[in-house]
Structure 1
Amino acid sequence: MNSLQKGNGSVVRRVKLATIHLLALGVLSGVVVSLHAGEAISPRRLIEVVDISGPVVSPDSSQVAFRTEQASVARNTYDSVWYVQNTDGKTPPRRVGEGGVPLRSSAGLSLPAFAVWSPDGRWIYYRALMDGKVGVWRASADGSSAKPLTNDPADVRNFLLSADGKTLNYSVGATRDEVIAAEQSEYERGIHVDSSVPIGQGDLFRSGNVEGRLATQRLDVLGDGFARVPLLSGVPDRWKAIDLLTGKTRDLEASEVPSPQTIASALPKGESKPWRYALDTVNHRVALLTRVGDQGDLVQKPGVELSVLLGKNSPRHIECQAEPCVNKAISGVQWKPGSEEVVYTVSDPAEGMAQSIFRWNVKSGEVRLVARSAGLLNGGQRYGLEDPGCGLSSTALVCVAADANRPPRVEKIDLETGKRQVLFDPNASLAADISADMPVKLLRWKDAKGRLFTGQFFAARRTGDRPPPLFIAYYLCPGFLRSGYGGEWPLATFAEHGISALCINYGPFSFDAVERYNQGLSAVKSAVDLLASSGEIDRTRVGMGELSFGTEITMWTAFNSDLLAATSITGALLSRSMYLHGSLKGKEFISRAHKVWQLGSPDETPEQWKRIGLEFNLDKIRSPVLMQVPEQEYVWLLDSAVPLMLDHKADLYVFPQAPHFKFQPRQLLAANERNVDWFRFWLQDYEDPDPEKKSQYAVWREMKAHASNRGENPAGSRGD
């Protein structure tokens, strides 16, 4: 994600950075078998993958609840469903309740789902957007009933179940009518532009999708960039309580407002907040992950230290000193219930961010491997949102597993033996097709400076003596690689059509912009050298594209090398217009721009602007650029897009009301399919005969003709 946009504001406070027809297990209600094995791995199949999140184990460990989320291109919406399954895996999961319209961050990412079990294991409680209202729902674990518990004029922000399971406390802000009235008042009286107004987007009135409707937004004053929040989101929480026996609701007095234990309350006075942590509220312990090591010019310190604090009054940290937890990329931590053990996750950069899970006994110091994966093994998160981890009991983990070539499924992992058992695999048909037709392998290589890079490589089938073209996505490659990190470049589809695809994980993030960009360029160049030298790809036919930070590296590569024959981006890069709009936020933005890009205003730092600004380097762009940009960001790209379009070097599409990550299924499908057409046109000299695409190809042929007139030789014109 672009460095100024890392904070993904949302109605769920401080969740930071910002899909799916069920293809198998037709025995389940609502599961549709829509495609046959062996059919093309199309962008639509990849978009309609079933995502799974929020596994949480019941108090007696016999059941697990989780939520599925699936895009429907036909209806241009998402279906989300809560399931409960017995952890012995002997029966299929039971559909217990609708999950409603998925709640999203302002960047467009689906927010983590979570459910709370009743103490007796009979019910799960969860927040859901239904019929335009965000409320708390209760579903019976046996699937017999599901109903809303709240009927508030305001949307529910948070909820807590009492320890005895008899009372539900929940918080709300401004009412829905108050928010709509405030929006309408601004529409009629004019929106007063100040530092909170997101002026760098196509519209200011009801331009963003908030809680399932188009709503007016403001910039998050607590954020570090262009993250957005709904109008009136600053209205303080009001807490209410429902007696679950009588159904009566009352307002809570200030003294009654629940104050769950926080990390601040668990640490000794003066102790700094750790990078990540896990609280054991029963035994008053906290497991800590602390960033350590020489930070140098890096955004964060390179190492992670695992330790525990046994009570607030005990300032002594017990550090994990066993080999499996020293100098390891530990990314998550949980307490094993009723034990002296901490369960932690390692996301190994040398293995392409593959995750492994370990147990650490804090008294004996012993560390044991539980499970090792080739991909993700967590609570279902693919993006940078904080992951709550796998569902955990005293004997087993229940995780969402996903590999580069295998879509998400629910797995149970025995903590003692490490035995893995698939409980639920709704994507089995697609997994079988990709495994049979599209093998994926992890690549490791070093650049000229000895820096290690990793990536997932989809090798295309050869159709002749000439090696296939290559498409590169540079950013992150977590879990199942449906369409790159940004969701718009279907890697398996490229490979099926004869274009090999490589997803590259970025390296340590440096504050020095030129160093950061050159590291990305070096990763791309060394990967091309590696694959071309082994005869696996044609170095004269290389395309590249990604979202956000991946967009920055794509365009840096385009104007600092001759590696690329075609490029595709979504979202904006830092430009003079972005800087101008951001400066309205004041010193927070200006300080960040200086720290992250070493930029002041164009008059203050002209040489740095000329060095890294795309609009100052347009004459160096030789490869054609497809720009498929969300409306909330396209204004910032016009400084570069318009001159490139006038020079027949760029084609621009703007997606109405889209945020940083597009999420509407039809918009995603259009972007994916156009990217396939784009790279097949430039890298393979191929045009889809679909008559509806005539105007698209007319523009691209004109671009190719102008490139030839300039003496450039587009890769696609060389023939196969």
Structure 2
Amino acid sequence: MVSCAHRLGAALCAMLLFDTASAYASCPVLPSAERLDRGKHAVTPDDLLGLRDIGLPAVAYGEPSPVAVAPDGRHAALVLSRAEAASNSYCRGLVIVDLEGRERPRLVDSGGDLITDSDPFNGYYTPDGGQPTIVPVWSPDGSRIAYRRRDRGVTQAWVANVDGSGARAVTADTVDVDAIAWAPGDGVLVFADRPGVAVANAAIDSAGLSGWLYDASILPDYGPRPMVAGPIGRRAHLVSLGDGTVRDAGPEEAGLLPPELAFGASAAISAVTATGARAGVRKTGDALFFAPTVIDIDRPGRARVTCRAGACASGVQHLWWNADGTRLYLQRREGWNRETNAFYVIDPASSGTPRLVLATTDALLGCQLLPAGLLCLRENATAPRRLVLIDLGSGSARTVFDPNPQVASWRFGAVRRLRWKNNLGLEAWGDLVLPPDIGPHEKVPLVIVQYDSKGFLRGGTGDEYPVYALAAQGMAVLSIERPISVAQADPKVRTMADYYVVFQKDWGERRSQLSSVETGIRAAIATGAIDPARIGITGLSDGSSTVRFALINSNLVFKAAAISTCCVEMRTTMTYGGIAWAEFNKSMGYPPASNEDEAFWRPYSMVLNAGRMTTPLLMQLADREYLLSLETVTALREHHQPVEMYVFPNEFHLKWQPAHRQAIYRRNIDWFAYWLLGRIDADPAKTAQYRRWDAMRTSVRAGVAGSGP
């Protein structure tokens, strides 16, 4: 048994274990209790930036619920987060919500930094700017809540008193706490860490003294430091809240923690009751994607019931048993390109046939079945995420907690769902957002935002293109939900190796996504509200790939473009991406770096097409990715094409810093307002920006685009 002081020293232990919540008392986590102004105003970038989030900002199915229901079933706990650009930080707090609506939400702890995550990439832990879901955990007696909180660069286990009398860190680990659970007994917490990460980093530091070997662990665009190889197993401990002593947990105690997934794996979809009834989704085919499934239902002393009905055949997201184990509920994504959330109930004692109880195109996340109904996080195109309780009999919903009541004062234009198929017959859809003040016969510019349109329309994948703030400036926005990939649609795909070959063959995925975007644009133009001569296009990650492919291959003319990641080029991809990525690309059919196969690259390479890349292009990139853009930017500048690039420090594939996100929002609005509306912001601080853009515009009109600054 080891005390906190023995592990880290008395001074550091005291700093971490003592209550620090008072230091964050001024952080406005909860919405104001004051009556909101009933006047409507146009949506601004700062409005969108300041939204309060429960769980991950994006709609992500398959994540654990960020809402924890108390043992009494009458309260829930959640972590609320709000970006603050002025301090380039996040206001974060642990909030208790009364599910019966008798009390106002209470803040029982506040503070801490945003926790970002690393994804497995070619066998290595690679930071990407994404976030893990933080799940609070109630003590068995309901008097305390444990959760993970990050301060001073380390994630610790914190415990807050439900009565609001204080919160404190109860671990003082040197590496991040990875998972937590309550142990039986009085005031004992189980927590897990991965000490192997610290060991691996120490070994990397030591190797650096004699030079790092350039191998698959180095991603040059991230820097010369090797990545930590995975998987690294976690270790479980027990900590006493009374005296801070820590000891290793036994297998039974470690089993209380959330299960550890295999490196890069997804959790199985299953449900079990206290009496031993089980239900689980089982694939019946060997296709890698969309193989038919069934639901097996096993109850003690009874024969297995297998649901083979359509509702059980594909798209199942979650399973729940009711309290007495007599009915099984399932959530399924179905319909046109899986846009509908449907809930079914199965009575295993009767026919075992699913009965539909609710269907909606709203996003429903983190749902939990309670005696009073289904507790879910719900959002749609014009309503950000809020906590609701859904009556499964009537389908009616009651809002339990709305973290963003200020949205009621925002002025939205019309939002219309458009549906279409691309040239391969793959289903797609998009939300067409019109400016609030558009006239009945007016035609306005259109900006394409990709490639996820589920839930509230914030800023597309990566949240860099503020949909409603663009619309407030007089531009329509088509927010696109992309179709499934060509490889997902191919039933012959059995392995990931098969997947990548089909994905890449003859640039098949790029052609499919471009067809979807072009068809969506034509559907928007057919509404009569869009000026086909003023179209802009945006994207991050796969969306950026679609933008670049479109600028080379589309028959449509784009007036302006903006991307958040760049690029894939003949001379760059196999070098700055590193050895592991080069080998991966070769497995998909890319030629090696020593073979400059221009015929292969010409449909996708902006370098090889730089002489005709006249669409003004804005690039706002992370410092860990910008090296991959240099070949492209150099070629465009050498051909005097209109391009401008910004690099943001300490950023990843998904940019997480609020000040950066604010700057990106504002610059994207300026960019498209300039090129599509001919509008200039009178702010004197932007004089140099518009001087550069004026030079670009003059050169484009003359047929010879100007260089950069």
User: TM class by shorter-chain length?
Assistant: 0.7 to 0.9
CA distance in 1, matches of 2:607, 2:307: 50
Which of residues 635, 639, 644 in structure 2 aligns to 1:643?
Answer: 635
Residue in 1 that maps onto 2:415: 440
Residue in 2 that maps onto 1:270: none
2:607 counterpart of 1:621:
no
Which of residues 156, 171, 178 in structure 2 aligns to 1:150?
Answer: 171
Taking structure 1 as reference, are residues 362 and 620 closer, same or farther at Cα in structure 2, changes over 3 Å only? farther
SS at match of 1:359: strand
Report if the CA contact (8 A) 2:327-2:345 is conserved: yes
2:512 counterpart of 1:512:
no
Give the alignment of 1:341-356 within 5 angstroms.
341-348=327-334, 350=336, 353-356=339-342
Shift of 1:23: 9.7
RMSD (CA atoms)? 3.4
Which of residues 429, 433, 437 in structure 2 aligns to 1:454?
Answer: 429
Which of residues 34, 39, 42 in structure 2 aligns to 1:40?
Answer: 42
Paired letter, 1:346: R
Taking structure 1 as reference, are residues 459 and 247 closer, same or farther at Cα in structure 2, changes over 3 Å only? same
Taking structure 1 as reference, are residues 34 and 49 closer, same or farther at Cα in structure 2, changes over 3 Å only? farther
Residue in 2 that maps onto 1:385: none
Report if the CA contact (8 A) 2:426-2:484 is conserved: no
Which of residues 215, 222, 234 in structure 2 aligns to 1:194?
Answer: 215
Shift of 1:280: 2.0
Give the alignment of 1:361-380 within 5 angstroms.
361-364=347-350, 365-379=352-366
Paired letter, 2:377: V
Residue in 1 that maps onto 2:289: 301
Shift of 1:158: 2.1
Q: Which runs of 5+ in 2 are unaligned?
A: 1-26, 56-65, 118-126, 487-501
Taking structure 1 as reference, are residues 694 and 317 closer, same or farther at Cα in structure 2, changes over 3 Å only? farther
CA distance in 2, matches of 1:446, 1:181: 52
Taking structure 1 as reference, are residues 336 and 102 closer, same or farther at Cα in structure 2, changes over 3 Å only? farther
Give the alignment of 1:558-577 within 5 angstroms.
558-563=551-556, 564-575=558-569, 576-577=571-572
Which of residues 330, 343, 353 in structure 2 aligns to 1:357?
Answer: 343
Segment of structure 1 superposing worse, 480-489 or 352-361:
352-361
Shift of 1:156: 1.8
Which of residues 127, 140, 158 in structure 2 aligns to 1:137?
Answer: 158
SS at match of 2:627: helix
CA distance in 1, matches of 2:676, 2:549: 20
CA distance in 1, matches of 2:323, 2:668: 48
Segment of structure 1 superposing worse, 442-451 or 404-413:
442-451
2:237 counterpart of 1:240:
yes
CA distance in 2, matches of 1:686, 1:78: 32
CA distance in 2, matches of 1:173, 1:530: 51
Report if the CA contact (8 A) 1:398-1:412 is conserved: yes
Residue in 2 that maps onto 1:26: 32
Which of residues 183, 186, 190 in structure 2 aligns to 1:162?
Answer: 183
CA distance in 1, matches of 2:90, 2:446: 32
Report if the CA contact (8 A) 1:118-1:165 is conserved: no
Q: How many residue pairs end up in the alignment?
A: 636
Residue in 2 that maps onto 1:553: 546
Shift of 1:358: 2.9
Which of residues 643, 647, 653 in structure 2 aligns to 1:654?
Answer: 647
Report if the CA contact (8 A) 1:85-1:92 is conserved: yes
2:53 counterpart of 1:51:
yes
Shift of 1:62: 1.5
Shift of 1:679: 0.7
Paired letter, 2:137: V
CA distance in 1, matches of 2:201, 2:258: 34
Paired letter, 2:227: R
SS at match of 2:270: strand
SS at match of 1:611: coil
Taking structure 1 as reference, are residues 82 and 369 closer, same or farther at Cα in structure 2, changes over 3 Å only? farther
Residue in 2 that maps onto 1:578: 573
CA distance in 1, matches of 2:420, 2:198: 57
Taking structure 1 as reference, are residues 151 and 281 closer, same or farther at Cα in structure 2, changes over 3 Å only? farther
Taking structure 1 as reference, are residues 709 and 289 closer, same or farther at Cα in structure 2, changes over 3 Å only? farther
2:500 counterpart of 1:479:
no
Shift of 1:482: 1.1
Shift of 1:520: 1.4
Q: TM-score, normalised by structure 2?
A: 0.81
For residues 335-372 of structure 1, the C-alpha deviation after alignment (integer angstroms, 9 at most, x for no partner) is 44442433322233517734233333344314344443
SS at match of 2:531: coil
2:74 counterpart of 1:98:
no
Report if the CA contact (8 A) 1:275-1:290 is conserved: no
SS at match of 1:66: strand
Shift of 1:412: 1.4
CA distance in 2, matches of 1:92, 1:329: 37
Segment of structure 1 superposing worse, 116-125 or 254-263:
254-263
Taking structure 1 as reference, are residues 692 and 463 closer, same or farther at Cα in structure 2, changes over 3 Å only? farther
Taking structure 1 as reference, are residues 102 and 396 closer, same or farther at Cα in structure 2, changes over 3 Å only? farther
CA distance in 2, matches of 1:288, 1:192: 46
Shift of 1:146: 1.9
Segment of structure 1 superposing worse, 184-193 or 695-704:
184-193
Q: Which runs of 5+ in 1 are unaligned?
A: 1-20, 206-216, 223-233, 266-272, 380-389, 714-720
CA distance in 1, matches of 2:334, 2:388: 20
Shift of 1:107: 1.4
Segment of structure 1 superposing worse, 130-139 or 346-355:
346-355
Shift of 1:51: 0.7
Shift of 1:525: 1.5
CA distance in 2, matches of 1:363, 1:598: 55
Taking structure 1 as reference, are residues 22 and 683 closer, same or farther at Cα in structure 2, changes over 3 Å only? farther
Paired letter, 1:109: G
Shift of 1:100: 2.1
Taking structure 1 as reference, are residues 292 and 486 closer, same or farther at Cα in structure 2, changes over 3 Å only? farther
Shift of 1:672: 0.9
Paired letter, 2:54: I
For residues 152-195 of structure 1, the C-alpha deviation after alignment (integer angstroms, 9 at most, x for no partner) is 34432222322456532222344999898778767766544432
Report if the CA contact (8 A) 1:304-1:330 is conserved: no
- Percent identical among aligned pairs is 25
Report if the CA contact (8 A) 1:443-1:456 is conserved: yes
Give the alignment of 1:75-474 within 5 angstroms.
75-98=87-110, 100-105=112-117, 106-164=127-185, 166-174=187-195, 190-201=211-222, 203-204=223-224, 218=227, 220-221=229-230, 234=232, 237-244=234-241, 246-252=242-248, 258-259=254-255, 276-280=268-272, 282-284=274-276, 286-290=278-282, 295=287, 300-303=288-291, 305-308=293-296, 310=298, 318-323=305-310, 325-348=311-334, 350=336, 353-364=339-350, 365-379=352-366, 390-434=367-411, 437-448=412-423, 450-460=425-435, 461-462=437-438, 466-474=442-450
CA distance in 2, matches of 1:262, 1:493: 40
2:692 counterpart of 1:699:
yes
SS at match of 2:227: strand
SS at match of 1:677: helix
Segment of structure 1 superposing worse, 108-117 or 390-399:
390-399
Residue in 2 that maps onto 1:676: 669
Residue in 1 that maps onto 2:7: none
Report if the CA contact (8 A) 1:136-1:150 is conserved: yes
Taking structure 1 as reference, are residues 219 and 184 closer, same or farther at Cα in structure 2, changes over 3 Å only? closer
Segment of structure 1 superposing worse, 286-295 or 39-48:
286-295
SS at match of 1:523: helix
Segment of structure 1 superposing worse, 444-453 or 134-143:
444-453
Residue in 1 that maps onto 2:14: none
Q: TM-score, normalised by structure 1?
A: 0.80
Report if the CA contact (8 A) 2:415-2:431 is conserved: yes
Report if the CA contact (8 A) 1:342-1:361 is conserved: yes
Report if the CA contact (8 A) 1:474-1:554 is conserved: no
